[in-house]
Amino acid sequence: MARYQVYLLMSFRGRDVGRNYFAQLFSVAILQITLRILRRWNQTGQKHAGDSDIAKTFLPAHNFLLWALVIITYLDVGQRMSRSAIPWASRLVSSAAAAALGIAAIGFKIAFTKSDAPELLTGVEMLLVGPIESASLVSQARAVFLSSLALLVLTIGPAIAEKIHSAEPMQTILLPFHDILSLFLITQTRTTNIPAFMIFQVQYHSLDYLDLPTVELSLTSLLLQYASFFSLGGSNAISSIDLSNAYNGVTGYNVGAVGILTFLSNWAGPVWWSSATVLLLTAKRNQRIHSKSSDKSFMTPDDAIWGSFEQYVAWLTFFASSSVLAVMLACTMLRAHLFIWTVFSPKYLYIMAWNMGQHLCINLGFGSLLVWMSSW
């Protein structure tokens, strides 16, 4: 009886050799639980508008918890940066750089919250130290952006200069890029939305452990991109476009910069996920290269890269084109509908932003750039 039970247990091993069955089951459970938390992060839509949610009701009532979560998120991003950024230097140097950037970012967020939503700082005024309060918001924002750029250049520069070619395709540049991008996106996010990025990171690790095939990963990425957009407060109404972070570091009238910052601020979740998906895709490719190095039918590393990324892009484009066609048809056929200007044409504008901005520029353009960088 006992041997049969052991056989039963062993037969439930996951498809991937070496991965524990229960650990993978746990990962999917984590995905479901975190998704449930994210559903309540921001209440969007018309039917339950104004209902209590985490970002607008719970966290502002518990300022200490809010800022503890925010600082933990920054610390998490900072420690990941200190481990992966500037890979050619010692960890001391990179930790110092990451710490400096993290402190600048937190300082800017605190100062920004003081001017944008001061009620979030009642009870935690100890965070408002002198230098943070006295420096101007514009210079702080620019400091954060320029330091991120400097860290990025320091991380990527030597790879370009030396043209590092090794038997292992590197994921080492994508990881710090993702962490610095996380910090940038967190800087562009409302304070009450920042802990959601920690939840995204947990979801990313669960997906990493699950090791899904490319096609399933593509669908998962699509679903999570849209889900994260809505859970961070986006909706299909023009009124939900958040302009509070659109002028970070911008002093005068600058359409391009403000437009880009507005897009990145509202699409922070999807942009984060497109970067995380490229990380997951290249991790799969690295794993495949490691395990099949003696296989004669194995493709060259470059083929392996574009194989899975091309599949991912094909699936995303399929959904993008079908959604555009559907919205265009709906707007044309319902052009005499009562809600044509209040509901359907804002949806059309959002579809344009989703497809020209998120799909073309971020998923295709930025994703291709990341995949190309991973092959250095």
Partner 1 sequence: MSSTASNYNLTRLYAGIALSATAFAFSLMVAFAFVPKVGSTGVWTSLVAMSYGTMMFASSFVEEEQHFWYWAASAWFAWITVKKYELKWLDIKFTC
Which stretches of the chain bind partner 1, using CB under 8 A? Answer: 8, 11-12, 14-15, 21, 24-25, 28, 31-32, 35-36, 39, 44-47, 210, 212-213, 215-216, 218-220, 222-224, 226-227, 230-231, 235-237, 310-311, 314-315, 317-337, 339, 341, 343-344, 347
Cβ closest to partner 1, residue 46 vs residue 139: 46
At closest approach, how far in Å is the CB of 91 from partner 1? Answer: 36
Cβ closest to partner 1, residue 247 vs residue 298: 298
At closest approach, how far in Å is the CB of 351 from partner 1? Answer: 9
Cβ closest to partner 1, residue 98 vs residue 210: 210
At closest approach, how far in Å is the CB of 92 from partner 1? Answer: 41
At closest approach, how far in Å is the CB of 195 from partner 1? Answer: 18
Yes or no: say if 222 and 274 are a contact pair by the CB < 8 Å rule: no
Contacts 24+ apart (CB under 8 A), 174-178: 174/278, 174/279, 174/282, 174/370, 174/373, 174/374, 175/80, 175/84, 175/279, 176/81, 176/84, 176/85, 176/86, 176/87, 176/151, 176/152, 177/152, 177/275, 177/370, 177/373, 178/275, 178/276, 178/279
At closest approach, how far in Å is the CB of 267 from partner 1? Answer: 14
At closest approach, how far in Å is the CB of 9 from partner 1? Answer: 11
Cβ closest to partner 1, residue 213 vs residue 259: 213
How far CA 179 is from CA of 31, 132, 182, in Å, comes to: 21, 24, 5
Cβ closest to partner 1, residue 1 vs residue 336: 336
At closest approach, how far in Å is the CB of 314 from partner 1? Answer: 5
At closest approach, how far in Å is the CB of 102 from partner 1? Answer: 31
**Segments in the chain forming alpha helices (H):** 2-11, 21-39, 59-61, 63-84, 91-116, 130-134, 137-162, 174-187, 195-210, 214-231, 255-266, 268-291, 301-333, 345-352, 367-374
**251: three-class secondary structure by DSSP:** coil
Cβ closest to partner 1, residue 128 vs residue 237: 237
Cβ closest to partner 1, residue 96 vs residue 283: 283
- Residue 69: both structure tokens together: 């979560």
CA-closest candidate to residue 286, choices 212, 374, 162: 374
Cβ closest to partner 1, residue 139 vs residue 322: 322
- Residue 325: both structure tokens together: 């066609």
What does the CA dihedral 83, 88, 93, 99 come to, rounded to 10 degrees? -40
